[in-house]
A = this chain, B = another copy of it.
Amino acid sequence: MKTYKIGVIKGDGIGPEIVDEAIKVLDAVSVAQGFNLKYDEMLLGGSAIDETGVPLPEETIQGVKKCDAVLFGAIGGPKWDNLERHLRPETGLLGLRKEMGTFANLRPAMVYDELVNASSLKPAVIQGVDIMVVRELTGGIYFGQPRELHEDEAFNTMIYTKEEVRRIAVVAFDIAMKRDKRICSVDKANVLEVSQFWREIVEEVAKDYPEVELSHMYVDNAAMQLIRDPKQFDVILTGNIFGDILSDAASMLSGSIGLLPSASTGKGVGLFEPIHGSAPDIAGQGIANPLATISSASMMLRYALNETVAADRIDEAIRKALAEGYRTGDIGDYDAKEICTCTEMGDIIADYA
């Protein structure tokens, strides 16, 4: 039987609860589809700090390289907020992304018909929204040098090289070819040199994709258009920090940040994680929404392992559960038949998948 090795990073806060449910679902579909998943647990973030003193242990760096894909929950929490920067949970995550070379962060923002009332936006504005945010993940101001904190001033550097922009643009154009063939590249080229550069390289890459329609939008306008008329977008291509902001904004179209998955791919092993954080305030209460993580597991099957049927089974199971009115608390106000705990929702999806 085909066996895949999956790195599992549960992380902090609600991380362990939601990852456990995703594994439950993965086990169900792998049995049904006749392949095998071997899990290898690794530490990252706060729990890594507690156990090893650093947020990204060397063992994790080496470990992920031996996997076919990595499933990740979430990290961080108030307990570790006041550590020095190099010891913080987030620094571990950024380091892991960099080590794994996962420069392309794919963040779908889609609206489940079943939850069209769950958003703060009007149903007519969001029904049918299907956006793919392609965010550059290992460059830009997140990693730019120099970066310094002094008594009287502090600064960071937003920098992009030609190769960094080119390769993320290629990812976006390849994805656009499989979708509606429209890319909106988001920058602030009217003010920033780094954005002007970004725009030029994207234009260059576009020449290899004559079928794809490319447009450009300033980031302030994009934040506005995502709220005004999100259906205008197919693929949004943008840099690290703009992508961070815009993908979180876009997540609100779906009604809850607890629903949306992400895939980070690049040179080698891919990293699959919900776009939400570790929600320390509700950790351990069993009320977290595991659907974003289960959805991330589906993206892992589809993009990293090429187990398309298994991925489809999960996506279908999620839709079915939502259509039947199963809801976790975060989406509990909308056409709910039954409010589920985290575990109950995992059970239902595993059952339907």
Contacts of A245 in B (CB 8 A): 219-220, 223, 245
Contacts of A198 in B (CB 8 A): 154
> B155 contacts A158, CB within 8 Å?
yes
* Total copies of the chain: 2
**Which positions 289-341 of chain A face chain B at CB distance < 8 Å?**
none
- Bound together, the chains give a CA A145 to CA B219 distance in angstroms of 21
Report A139-170 CB contacts with B as 1/0, cut-off 8 Å: 00110100111011111111111100000000
Given A85-B193, A149-B197: A188 and B241 interface contact (C-beta under 8 Å) = yes
Check if A88 is an interface residue, CB within 8 A of chain B.
yes
Contact residues on A (Cβ < 8 Å of other chain), bracket: 35 or more
Partner of A248, one of B159, B223, B229: B223
> A90 contacts B191, CB within 8 Å?
yes
The smallest C-beta distance from A55 to any residue of chain B, in angstroms, reads 12
> A155 contacts B152, CB within 8 Å?
no
Given A220-B245, A252-B227: A156 and B192 interface contact (C-beta under 8 Å) = yes
Report A196-238 CB contacts with B as 1/0, cut-off 8 Å: 1110000000000000000000011101101111000000000
> B122 contacts A196, CB within 8 Å?
no
Check if A76 is an interface residue, CB within 8 A of chain B.
yes
> B197 contacts A224, CB within 8 Å?
no
> A251 contacts B229, CB within 8 Å?
no
Report A8-51 CB contacts with B as 1/0, cut-off 8 Å: 00000000000000000000000000000000000000000000
The smallest C-beta distance from A275 to any residue of chain B, in angstroms, reads 9
Check if A6 is an interface residue, CB within 8 A of chain B.
no
Interface residues of A (CB under 8 A from B): 76, 85, 88, 90, 94, 120-122, 125, 141-142, 144, 147-149, 151-162, 188, 190-194, 196-198, 219-221, 223-224, 226-229, 241, 244-249, 251-252, 257
Q: Given A188-B241, A223-B246, A245-B245, 20 more contacts at CB 8 Å?
A: A76-B190, A88-B190, A90-B190, A90-B191, A120-B122, A120-B229, A147-B192, A149-B197, A153-B159, A154-B197, A156-B159, A157-B157, A158-B158, A188-B244, A220-B245, A220-B247, A223-B223, A224-B251, A224-B252, A228-B252
